[in-house]
A and B are shown apart, each in its own frame.
Chain A
Amino acid sequence: MEFDPSPATAEAKGKGALSADIVVGIPSYNNSATISHVVKAVDAGLGKYFPNERAVIVNSDGGSQDSTPEEVIRTRVDHRAIFLTHRLYPVNRITTPYHGVPGKGSAFRTIFHMAAALGARACCVVDADLRSITPEWIELLIAPVLKEDYDFVAPLYSRHKYDGTITNSIIYPVTRALYGRRIRQPMGGEFGFSGRLASRYLSQNVWDSDVARFGIDIWMTTEAIAGGFKVCQSYLGAKIHDPKDPGADLKDMFTQVVGSLMSLTEKHYDEWKGASASSDVPTFGFKYSAGVEPVRVNMERMVNAYRVGVKNLKDVWAKVVGKDAIAAFEEISKKGGTPEFHFSRELWVRTVYDYLIAFHRKKLPDDHLLGSLVPLYFGKTASFFIEASDFTDEEAEAEVERTAEEYENQKKYLLERW
């Protein structure tokens, strides 16, 4: 593959890092409070688990105004304090601004470029806002690629039962039902991947789409599965990170993530049409019970968002779902935020499949279609929160699994109407 010369590559070459076995990418934007800890963990992980490999840490920054890149270069690790011997090669650090559409995906693109330019055999990416990352994360994301010849390593976390609702109600179960692989966190944020897969990612022309933003995670996972690459997952423990940017609009985030999922479903029809049932993927790491941070929930806001949707969007929904579904949405809405407010998994799965079909048939402009799904998603999420209020984490997880099974059961409905 011909490499497109970029400032990042020039800088890498300028620093003498002409080749590397491992590239660890850290996309960032105003993360000076946390990135030092992440760099320390990555550096220690490379020192502890990969002392003989040449490694480069690449910080791909979105124009931070809080000295995030300086923190990356400034951070020092006391190797003696964590019982590390001298490395054969020093770990180079490169910090570079990324180009293109502002977003996580564009930051990743620069990291893929660097990995290709340096000829890396294994790469991983970790978020810059992580507070719970440990050196072991680097081993768990890189070792399956270097030592077991896997191409893609997805993360597996312990999460609060209310966390990751888009993942739990749409992304995980749809990916599982379509492609038949059970990757629990298909858009977890931390991934390991081979140099071969990085080159494959780079070769695709998606960098002006939602993939360049929040859609990057599900895109990476789906391309790995649909491309027939060897995939696995690694248990990393609890994921604790800074709260997302409060200014980030949920609708935009939802649209980018679910829109990317739908585009990928459209693109990979030939790969998913024949898959029936699903199977586990190999899982690495030592699973343990990890404490997770408590989560505040504003239930009233969610129920209200759903109710306002039911009041105003019936005409739009009529272009996507059947009359019986709209009648059911109205019935649910009448229950307010009471314990009877229940959005059944059968109705939810049918609705999501109807939306996938509507996306495929271009029944509405993409943005309108996805925007009209947001209130229904709030309804389903509120219903889950009410139902799971007394659940343990395991019971909540079992409910997610039942939803995933329902997606598999109704896949025939999707195929018949595609």
Chain B
Amino acid sequence: MERLKNEFIAHLNEFLDKAADFIPNFVVMVVILAAGLIVAWAVKLAMTRIFAAVKLDDWADETGISSALHNAGIRKPPSTFIKLSVYWLIVVMFFMAGFASLGLKVTDTLASLFFMYLPRFFSAVLIVIFGYIFAGFVSRAALLTAVNAGIEYSKLIAAAVRIFIVILVFAMALEQLSIAPRIVFAAFSIFFGGISLGLAIAFGYGGRGIAKKLLEYIVKKETEKDDINML
């Protein structure tokens, strides 16, 4: 009975010692989290004012970034999207820092992995953002070139160009994130190989008539040019 009592007291003391060690760390974690929320809120407030002053949403409308984001399924204005992204990024960073302060092996490993992964994450985000803007620009250029060449289904060409670039961008982003790079590479090769083969067969076999009409149109267009001097 005495032995049982001693064992219990020893375990209780051990628990109290660990709790005494843990509680200050936990308090530190709570403080870090609270500080993170305050910093995130302050940064969000500052960004709200700066974005309003520089009219970020107007600029994004003019440059086509808004429509690129809209097409990507982001319905919020660009300024709100950036503010929320930065807000949650700061919260998550402080949360991970807070976790690390607990001094546990698991949280230490998790936090270091998280912070080591951050540069890759930012690179991937930048690739996606600029990729989308680039896709919008190139697809509109393709649309206008096709329209001014008199191609009936110019929108289809523009959409194909956009999809091609977006897929390329996502493949690059996944590569950057090191998410199954071999599978991504293989899937990408198979996908585009399939598209190229499909198009070759479609145009070469199924589209002989269309190709013939197209050639006739081009030849006819050359011979039926008017001789107006538009200048």
Per a CB cutoff under 8 Å, which of B137, B143, B226 touches A316? Answer: B143
- B144/A162 in contact, CB under 8 A: no
Against A, the Cβ 8 Å flags (1 = close, 0 = not) of B135-176 are 001001101111110111011001000000000000000000
Task: Determine if A301 is an interface residue (Cβ-Cβ < 8 Å).
Answer: yes
> Contacts A251-B148, A312-B147; is A244 near B229 (CB within 8 Å)?
yes
> Contacts A298-B225, A308-B152; is A362 near B62 (CB within 8 Å)?
yes
Task: Determine if B64 is an interface residue (Cβ-Cβ < 8 Å).
Answer: yes
Closest to A168 in B: B230
Task: Determine if B105 is an interface residue (Cβ-Cβ < 8 Å).
Answer: no
Main secondary structure of the interface of B (DSSP, over half): helix
- A165/B147 in contact, CB under 8 A: no
- A367/B227 in contact, CB under 8 A: no
- A295/B228 in contact, CB under 8 A: yes
Against A, the Cβ 8 Å flags (1 = close, 0 = not) of B201-229 are 00000000000000000000100111111
Closest to B227 in A: A296
Q: How distant is B209 from chain A, measured CB to nearest CB, in Å?
A: 20
> Contacts A187-B231, A257-B231, A316-B140; is A308 near B226 (CB within 8 Å)?
no
Which residues of chain B are within 8 angstroms of A167 by Cβ–Cβ distance?
231
Per a CB cutoff under 8 Å, which of A165, A217, A308, A374 touches B228? Answer: A165
- B226/A295 in contact, CB under 8 A: yes
Which residues of chain A are within 8 angstroms of B158 by Cβ–Cβ distance?
312
- B140/A368 in contact, CB under 8 A: yes
- B64/A364 in contact, CB under 8 A: yes
- B230/A253 in contact, CB under 8 A: yes
Which residues of chain B are within 8 angstroms of A301 by Cβ–Cβ distance?
150, 221, 224, 226
- B141/A368 in contact, CB under 8 A: yes
- B150/A308 in contact, CB under 8 A: yes
**Residues 98-149 of B contacting A (Cβ, < 8 Å):** 137, 140-141, 143-148
Closest to B229 in A: A163
Task: Determine if A264 is an interface residue (Cβ-Cβ < 8 Å).
Answer: no
Against B, the Cβ 8 Å flags (1 = close, 0 = not) of A140-167 are 0000000000000000000000111111
Q: How distant is B17 from chain A, measured CB to nearest CB, in Å?
A: 67
> Contacts A164-B230, A165-B230, A305-B150; is A312 near B143 (CB within 8 Å)?
yes
Task: Determine if A277 is an interface residue (Cβ-Cβ < 8 Å).
Answer: no
Max count, chain A CB within 10 A of own CB: residue among B147, B227, B231: B231
**Residues 216-263 of A contacting B (Cβ, < 8 Å):** 217, 241, 243-244, 246, 250-251, 253-254, 257
What CA separation (Å) do A250 and B230 show in the bound complex? 8
Max count, chain A CB within 10 A of own CB: residue among B141, B147, B155, B158: B147
**Residues of B in contact with A (beta carbons under 8 Å apart):** 62-64, 137, 140-141, 143-148, 150-152, 154-155, 158, 221, 224-231
What CA separation (Å) do A297 and B141 show in the bound complex? 28
Given A164-B230, A295-B228, 17 more contacts at CB 8 Å?
A164-B229, A165-B228, A214-B231, A250-B230, A297-B228, A298-B226, A301-B150, A301-B226, A308-B150, A309-B147, A311-B155, A312-B158, A364-B140, A371-B144, A371-B145, A374-B148, A381-B230
What CA separation (Å) do A187 and B221 show in the bound complex? 28
Interface size class of A (residues with CB under 8 A): 35 or more
- A365/B137 in contact, CB under 8 A: yes
Q: How distant is B188 from chain A, measured CB to nearest CB, in Å?
A: 29
Which residues of chain B are within 8 angstroms of A309 by Cβ–Cβ distance?
147
- B226/A297 in contact, CB under 8 A: yes
What CA separation (Å) do A316 and B155 show in the bound complex? 11
What CA separation (Å) do A234 and B159 show in the bound complex? 52
Which residues of chain A are within 8 angstroms of B64 by Cβ–Cβ distance?
364
Against B, the Cβ 8 Å flags (1 = close, 0 = not) of A376-396 are 000001000000000000000
Closest to B140 in A: A368
Q: How distant is B156 from chain A, measured CB to nearest CB, in Å?
A: 9
Task: Determine if A372 is an interface residue (Cβ-Cβ < 8 Å).
Answer: yes
Per a CB cutoff under 8 Å, which of A297, A305, A368 touches B144? Answer: A368
Which residues of chain A are within 8 angstroms of B137 by Cβ–Cβ distance?
365
What CA separation (Å) do A246 and B226 show in the bound complex? 10
Closest to B154 in A: A312
- A371/B148 in contact, CB under 8 A: yes
> Contacts A308-B151, A308-B152; is A298 near B143 (CB within 8 Å)?
no
Q: How distant is B171 from chain A, measured CB to nearest CB, in Å?
A: 26
- B230/A375 in contact, CB under 8 A: no
Which residues of chain B are within 8 angstroms of A362 by Cβ–Cβ distance?
62-63
- B231/A313 in contact, CB under 8 A: no
Q: How distant is A316 from chain B, measured CB to nearest CB, in Å?
A: 7
- B228/A375 in contact, CB under 8 A: no
Which residues of chain A are within 8 angstroms of B229 by Cβ–Cβ distance?
163-164, 241, 243-244
- A304/B150 in contact, CB under 8 A: yes
Which residues of chain B are within 8 angstroms of A250 by Cβ–Cβ distance?
230
- A166/B141 in contact, CB under 8 A: no
What CA separation (Å) do A191 and B105 show in the bound complex? 84
The 5 A-B residue pairs with the shortest CB-CB distance, nearest first, are A371-B144, A298-B226, A312-B154, A296-B226, A251-B148
Task: Determine if A363 is an interface residue (Cβ-Cβ < 8 Å).
Answer: yes
Q: How distant is A158 from chain B, measured CB to nearest CB, in Å?
A: 13
Q: How distant is B220 from chain A, measured CB to nearest CB, in Å?
A: 10
What CA separation (Å) do A367 and B142 show in the bound complex? 12
